[in-house]
Copies of this chain bind each other. A is one copy, B any other.
């Protein structure tokens, strides 16, 4: 660990001092009345990040994977069919988790670099006359490939096929960084994690849960206890958790929400878009290409970048860490060795982003990539320097 340089992994992000220090609080009795006074507004205020007024926000001490498990076990029965598209490591892992829980997973296979294709979902749902499919699962932002899918289009596909399936969305690497409209998109469970847009350490799954999803819990026979929505919602209503709550992470979330609100969510999203576009211009200047196949699929939080033929992306990221003390994302699964990733989410500024670009360029030069030093940086600078300044909320 270098501790001086920013990290450029697609989460956990760089953690603002405000959040690190807020979480360094001494123990606060979770049964104390003033803790309850703090706890309730956290769940309320988090709703806006999910784009919901009608749903609930439910938190678990877990990683985002715990949120995936909560989504499927609370609302489904063993043997139920779920429809999901596989186009990266995280959609793949969610599939495995569903299978672990005895669900029948109908998989729309797509090339890595593609997103959730609404037309194929619509076809599958339309074909499902018997409504065997109980839920559609979609990975909003596939962290392995830097692909953002159009969840609104998936919703439209469900509606067009007049299908009653619920919609569960993995928004772990999008929520808090890219616009998310849970209510408008009719999302039943949206899963986020503390360590991405919320800029906190890993340790909390944060779920947006629709009224429909909560209503579905009673009949859902998948076994669950730790991740039970209704037990949690009931305890939350009484000011607590069904078990010991992760108080320090909740205090961090309080501060994180304050930071996001102070900056303004629209400004947060605009900043991410701006940072991302600068990185993409650097990629273009290097003559490289993104794993994401088309601009409308480009993620605002992470870019997966193919290295040229004959180069090994793992050698690149290892070199960056070993020589310069900077972490970039490795290629995962099918992308191993072929692509590296630059995370550009959370607590990040153009200045920080440029340091990542400048560093990876040095690595490329060290490893004889056919790039010109400074070229990608210049392309990003040209983009970052125009337009209105986009400062992070003042600390």
Nearest 4 interchain pairs by C-beta: A374-B378, A355-B355, A29-B327, A374-B374
Identity of the chain B residue whose Cβ is nearest the Cβ of A223 in the assembled complex: B101
Q: A351 and B389 in contact (CB under 8 A), knowing A21-B21, A226-B69?
A: no
Identical copies in the complex: 4
Q: Do B24 and A24 have beta carbons less than 8 Å apart?
A: yes
Within 8 A of B (CB), among A31-76: 31-35, 60-66, 68-69, 73
Question: Is A222 on the interface with B (CB-CB < 8 A)?
Answer: yes
Question: Is A217 on the interface with B (CB-CB < 8 A)?
Answer: no
Residue pairs across A and B with Cβ atoms less than 8 A apart, 15 shown, are A1-B394, A20-B24, A24-B24, A30-B202, A32-B321, A63-B226, A65-B226, A100-B224, A202-B245, A202-B247, A203-B246, A358-B381, A366-B385, A373-B378, A373-B381
Q: Do A382 and B373 have beta carbons less than 8 Å apart?
A: yes
Partner of A4, one of B201, B223, B227, B352: B352
> Binding site of A, secondary structure by majority: helix, strand, loop or mixed?
loop
Q: Do B374 and A102 have beta carbons less than 8 Å apart?
A: no
Apart from the given pairs A63-B241, A102-B223, A358-B381, 15 other A-B contacts in the complex at a CB distance below 8 Å: A2-B395, A4-B352, A15-B26, A17-B26, A30-B202, A31-B327, A68-B226, A193-B244, A202-B248, A203-B248, A322-B389, A324-B389, A325-B351, A373-B378, A374-B381
What is the distance, in angstroms, from A329's C-beta to the closest C-beta of chain B? 8
Within 8 A of B (CB), among A59-102: 60-66, 68-69, 73, 78, 93, 96-97, 100-102
Question: Is A208 on the interface with B (CB-CB < 8 A)?
Answer: no
Q: Do B201 and A1 have beta carbons less than 8 Å apart?
A: no
Q: A63 and B65 in contact (CB under 8 A), knowing A373-B378, A385-B366, A392-B325?
A: no
Q: A246 and B201 in contact (CB under 8 A), knowing A225-B97, A351-B5, A351-B355?
A: yes
